[in-house]
Each structure stands twice: as structure tokens, then as C-alpha cells.
Amino acid sequence: MTDKNAVVEKFKDRQALIGIVGLGYVGLPLMLRYNAIGFNVLGIDIDRDKVEKLNRGESYIEHIPGSSIGKARKTGFEATVDFRRASECDALILCVPTPLNKYREPDMSFVINTTDALKPYLRAGQVVSLESTTYPGTTEEELLPRVQEGGLIVGENIYLVYSPEREDPGNPNFETRTIPKVIGGHTPKCLEVGIALYEQAIDQVIPVSSTKAAEMTKLLENIHRAVNIGLVNEMKIVADRMGIDIFEVVDAAATKPFGFTPYYPGPGLGGHCIPIDPFYLTWKAREYGVNTRFIELSGEVNQAMPEYVLSKLVDGLNNAGKALKGSRVLVLGIAYKKNVDDMRESPSVEIMELIQAKGGVVAYSDPHVPVFPRMREHHFDLSSEPLTADNVASFDAVVLATDHDKFDYALIEAQAKLIIDSRGKYRAPMAHIIKA
């Protein structure tokens, strides 16, 4: 039997080697935090290009500067594609994607394949932590049997926890250290070791009674947002029919000092969590004979928003005596939210596809995404258009999809023939601006 106290002390003394599996928007900030407080960190990723970039001291995420990666390389960080090196690590923190498949069901292949790849190299004294958003029961049902397959016993000589990521890329008010960390262990000993792992790097650790409770916590956080955004998106449609500006209404309601949290409508949901997490719970709930109608309805409303934006574009062009077919349309902002380069689940991309499918000639401008990236399901052979006065004026319509701070909104207002504003950036009524 491994001495749990010795494992705990190794983290407290910062002598442990931290292994982070998956070096993306979650794994990379976590690596930097552990590195900054004196831990050696081994990053493991299947993407050889990413690994080589990191080992050269370069970053591939806009809001993480290359200088931070370069500094980490000089102070105990290394990246590798060699999963055999997992045996060197005292902690293995899994930060891999959990997308949906084409049937809107959880795609657990990244979690399962990663665990299977690590399985031969697990050893006594390690703690394995899953951070990927998933359905309640994943840690017990998928990780537990795989971790124990080689004869290790969870809670006795290896430790298993679930601690959901809470990254908010581009948010200047929070960083990895200052965002409280929820953690659930498979056993009380697992929880104790998991707390020792995370309390070194995070200001506040929030223990819960089980891995299932921690998994459900993450889903509740994001479903809360998805449902409220769905509500305000539906109210936007009602308000528009009544000639009311929903953004004015939300601003006014937000002055109430209790009982109201402002959520603002948009062109749909983006990012790796908010559009996806509700489907993880609705899928798992069916196993228990429960229909999550409230959650599913909000998902339907939010998924319909790109079509709503398209309808406003069609109406605007029609009022100008033009058809969408053959019209040149500039989409402003293709990242899923303002001031980042993250394209995951971006509604802007769906809007671009809808415009193209209707015969429109689509282009985009995004200061954070100079070239349209390779994506699993979407592709445009496009580069970001410069926002010069002449170029903006050359398009038949401009669709404001993501309201980056770097855009020159006065220039766009002055030069665009037609603006479809899905973010409420232009509040004053103007003939050539349509709120969507």
C-alpha cells in the first residue's frame, strides 16, 4: 500500500512532477500556473506541431504570450508526444476535449482514448484528475475501471478525482489562480490527495462529496447560463416584434439590486462549454427516465439564433431592393466571443455557412483570426478583410457577429450600406442598422 501522507507531502513540498495531458485553452494556463510556483511540469499532447512549438518557447493561443512559454521552458516545463513518460509524473491532469457527435450526443472518444493511452504507464502513488466537462458518472464509469485494470486500487495506491475546468479565455478579471476550484474524489483518500494537488496552485479549493457531484456542478454552472441566454434570446424576438429594444430593457432590469442577473442576447452560443454541456445532461438523464424539457427548449432557442440573424439580413437587403444571392456580405468577428481567437462552436461560422448556402458571397474580418483556421466540420478558404473605409463600403451588408473591442465601430457605422447588429453595439436608431 502506498503511503497517502507521503503523496500529499510531495505536493506540499512542491517536489512532485505535474503531468498535464492536453495542452489547449485549459491545459496551457494550468501548466503556466504550476510552473510559476516552482513545480516541474510535463505536458503531453498528441499534436506534434503544438509540442514542437511549445518546446521552442512559442505560443499558439493569442492571449497566452510566447514570452510566458519561453520562461516556463527555462524553469522546468517540457512538452512531449511520448505517453510512456506519464510514468514519471506524480499527477496526471486530463484536459482533453469532450465535444458532441453529429447526433448531438457526448463524444467521449478523447477521454477514453487518452485514458487508454496512459493506462500502461500508471503506477502506485499517482493521482489522476479529469478536468474535461462531461456527464455525471464519467469518472466512475469510464476512468475507474481503466485505472484499475492493471491491478492498481483506487483509494489505496492510486488516486482518482474530478475537478472541472473553469477557464474564461480573455477575461481580464480572473486567472487560473483566482478562480475557485471544485473537486470531488472517488474515495475520501482520493479527495485528500486531490486537494493537496490543487491547493498549491489555486487560492480556494471547494471539496464536494463525490466525483458525480463535481461533474454535475460544472453542468449546472453552464446550463444556468445556456437557459438564461435562451430566455433572453426568445425575449429578443418578442421585443423586436413589439418594437422594443431588448438591450435597453436588459440594461434597465439590471439596475435592480437583487433577484436579477443580466444576460444579453446574441447570434447563438459558442465556445466549448455553453452550447454543449446541456446535451451531456439531457443524454445522461434519459438513462434515468427523466426528460429535461426546460434545458432542451433553451437549446432549441439558442440553436435557432443564426437563422434569425440570417432572416434579418435577408429582410434588410430586400428593403434595399437586393437579393441575398449574389450580394457581398462581410461578417464581423468569427471567434465565439469578444477579444479572443477561440473558434470553437462559433455561431459566426454557422451564419457564414447559411449566407453561402443562400448564394451570398461571404467574407469576414476578425483582428484575432487572420486566416480562417482548419476546423473539424467547417472550412472557408478566406483571410480576414481589412476594415478600411473603402473596403467596408464595398460590401452590400455587414453582419456584426462578435463585438471585438478592436473594431472601429464609428468607421463601420459611417461606411457600411447596411449593418445587421446581433450584439446591440449600436443603440441609437438608424435607418441602415437592423438589430438582430
Q: Which residues are catalytic?
A: 273
| Coil vs helix vs strand at 123 | coil
Strand partners, 18: 41, 91
Residue pair 22/96 in contact (Cβ under 8 Å)? The answer is yes
- The CA–CA distances, whole Å, from 314 to 59, 136, 354 equal 40, 42, 11
Angle subtended at Cα 140 by Cα 178 and Cα 126, rounded to the nearest 5 degrees: 65
In sequence order, what are the residues at sequence separation of 6 or more whose Cβ sits closer than 8 angstroms to the Cβ of residue 333? Answer: 348, 364, 365, 366, 400, 401, 402, 403, 404, 407
Q: Are 144 and 116 spatial neighbours (Cβ–Cβ below 8 Å)?
A: no
- Cell readout for 337 is 466571443
Cβ neighbours for 248, distance < 8 A, ≥ 6 positions apart: 427
The strand ranges marked E within 262-356 are 328-332
Q: How far apart are CA 229 and CA 337, in angstroms?
A: 14
Residues in CB range of 418: below 8 A, 6 or more apart: 316, 317, 320, 396, 397, 398, 432, 434
**Sole residue written with cell 524553469:** 75
CA angle 139, 144, 148 (to 5 degrees): 160
Q: How many CB atoms lie within 10 A of CB 162?
A: 32
The neighbouring-strand residues paired with 398 are 330, 419
- How far is the C-alpha of 237 from the C-alpha of 243, rounded, in Å? 10
